[in-house]
């Protein structure tokens, strides 16, 4: 029902927010009083702290929680009183077990996401996967944090920005083995189909973290893709292939990076990078882009090629070392057994 001034029906009434009155601007008549303000109340009672917090009724309902999401949630900020902490603890105790697990998992996911700089959409995706896991009861009794870490790994895969198990493990407080075990169980129980990871998924991030140019990234991507097509790296992980391809491209350029530097960024052992590189080297001419500019003018001058050849030949000699050395040769460490295997 509309309210208007009986003397000036067409007048635009003015609202006095402090008194709760509607006043006619023409004659000053109070047309309505004791009105309830239905606008936003820009006040917050947050442990009596200053600062803008334009909240009125709390967060919207979260579909990831059950009915307990509709109850009051008590948050305790830094410096909160003991009574505040007690109330928050009591509130957590009153949550049902499923929602308590969900709340803990979301907290873990947020922490891990912040450590490795993931987006909010990935966090949300991971939380949804965790809720599905809870509902399936397939991982009942498993470590809650390991489940959350596995869900974050899956969310990264779904969003097209995969992270390695080693990266997820470094951001969590559980072992890589636990995360891997939970990952397999989740994939099996939810019947989730994830796109196959390729070395190209890691190239941009690895090369960016190494400070390599776009031309090196493009060359490494081509090398890795061609190596897979030629079946040179069967059984090798996409991470190892990416690392070896980056190593090969950088060694052929003026932007050289060691296998150790690349391994640290990629989460692969230096020896793994070099072993995979050795699989690529014999077919280098077929792997590089035709327009690649080699630092020394030609492909045969790739740094590290001579070292590979020497070590390969050395391994052929090593098993027959006793027959090869002069009888009067004086070994530095006292015996032929001191010779390294490679």
**pLDDT of 4-14, one tens digit each?**
888 778 878 77
Are 103 and 185 contained in the same domain? yes
What is the Rg, in whole angstroms, of the alpha carbon atoms belonging to the chain? 33
More confident residue, 37 or 277: 277
Indicate the angle between helix axes 238-251 and 200-210, nearest 10 degrees: 50
Are 171 and 225 contained in the same domain? no
Look at the block and give the residue holding tokens 């009724």.
57
Q: Is residue 150 part of a domain?
A: yes
Which domain-ending residue is among 190, 220, 235?
190
At 332, the pLDDT band (50, 70, 90 cuts) reads confident
Domain that holds residue 16: 1-39
Are 242 and 273 contained in the same domain? yes
At 205, the pLDDT band (50, 70, 90 cuts) reads very high
Q: Is residue 17 part of a domain?
A: yes
DSSP-based three-state secondary structure for 83: helix
- Give percent of the chain above pLDDT 90: 45
Share the mean pLDDT of the chain.
81
Q: Is residue 319 part of a domain?
A: no
Which domain-ending residue is among 161, 190, 219?
190
Q: Which stretches of the chain are assigned E, i.e. beta strand?
A: 14-16, 21-23, 30-32
Are 186 and 214 contained in the same domain? no
Residue 38 has pLDDT above 80, yes or no: no
Q: Is residue 210 part of a domain?
A: yes
Q: Is residue 251 part of a domain?
A: yes
Q: Is residue 60 part of a domain?
A: no
Q: Is residue 245 part of a domain?
A: yes
Q: What is the mean pLDDT of residues 196-202?
A: 92
Are 218 and 255 contained in the same domain? yes
244, burial (CB in 10 Å: exposed 0-12, middle 13-18, buried 19+) = buried
Check the CA dihedral 308-312-313-318 and report its sign.
positive
Q: What is the mean pLDDT of residues 36-49?
A: 55
Which of 55-64, 69-78, 97-106, 327-336 is modeled with the greatest confidence? 97-106
Q: Which stretches of 162-281 are assigned E, i.e. beta strand?
A: none
Are 233 and 298 contained in the same domain? yes
Count up the domains in the chain and report the number. Answer: 3
pLDDT given at position 68 = 47
Are 186 and 238 contained in the same domain? no
Torsion of CA 167, 102, 137, 190, to 10 degrees: -50
Could you tell me the pTM of the whole model?
0.62
Are 178 and 263 contained in the same domain? no
Domain CATH code at residue 179: 1.10.472.10
Are 173 and 247 contained in the same domain? no
Q: Is residue 159 part of a domain?
A: yes
Which domain-ending residue is among 138, 158, 190?
190
pLDDT given at position 322 = 84
């Amino acid at each position: 029902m509309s309210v208007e001034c009986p003397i000036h029906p067409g007048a635009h009434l003015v609202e006095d927010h402090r008194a709760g009155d509607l006043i006619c601007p023409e004659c000053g008549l109070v047309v309505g009083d004791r009105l309830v303000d239905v606008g936003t109340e820009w006040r917050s009672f947050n442990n009596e702290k200053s600062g803008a917090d334009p909240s009125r009724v709390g967060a919207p309902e979260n579909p990831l929680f059950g009915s307990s999401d509709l109850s009051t949630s008590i948050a305790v900020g830094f410096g909160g009183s003991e009574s505040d902490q007690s109330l928050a603890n009591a509130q957590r105790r009153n949550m049902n077990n499923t929602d308590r697990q969900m709340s803990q998992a979301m907290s873990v996911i947020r922490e891990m996401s912040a450590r490795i700089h993931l987006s909010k959409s990935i966090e949300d995706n991971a939380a949804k996967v965790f809720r599905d896991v809870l509902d399936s009861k397939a991982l009942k009794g498993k470590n809650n944090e390991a489940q959350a870490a596995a869900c974050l790994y899956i969310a990264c895969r779904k969003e097209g920005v995969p992270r390695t198990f080693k990266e997820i493990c470094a951001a969590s407080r559980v072992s890589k083995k636990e995360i891997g075990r939970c990952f397999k169980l989740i994939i099996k129980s939810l019947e989730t189909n994830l796109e196959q990871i390729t070395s190209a998924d890691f190239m941009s991030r690895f090369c960016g973290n190494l400070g390599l140019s776009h031309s090196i990234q493009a060359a490494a991507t081509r090398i890795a893709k061609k190596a897979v097509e030629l079946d040179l790296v069967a059984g090798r992980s996409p991470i190892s292939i990416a690392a070896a391809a980056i190593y090969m491209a950088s060694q052929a350029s003026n932007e050289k990076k060691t296998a150790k530097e690349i391994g640290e960024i990629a989460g692969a052992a230096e020896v793994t990078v070099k072993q995979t590189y050795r699989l690529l080297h014999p077919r280098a001419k077929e792997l590089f882009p035709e327009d690649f500019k080699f630092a020394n003018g030609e492909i045969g001058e790739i740094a590290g090629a001579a070292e590979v050849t020497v070590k390969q030949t050395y391994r052929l000699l090593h098993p027959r070392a006793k027959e090869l050395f002069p009888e009067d040769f004086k070994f530095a460490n006292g015996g032929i057994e001191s010779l390294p295997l490679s």
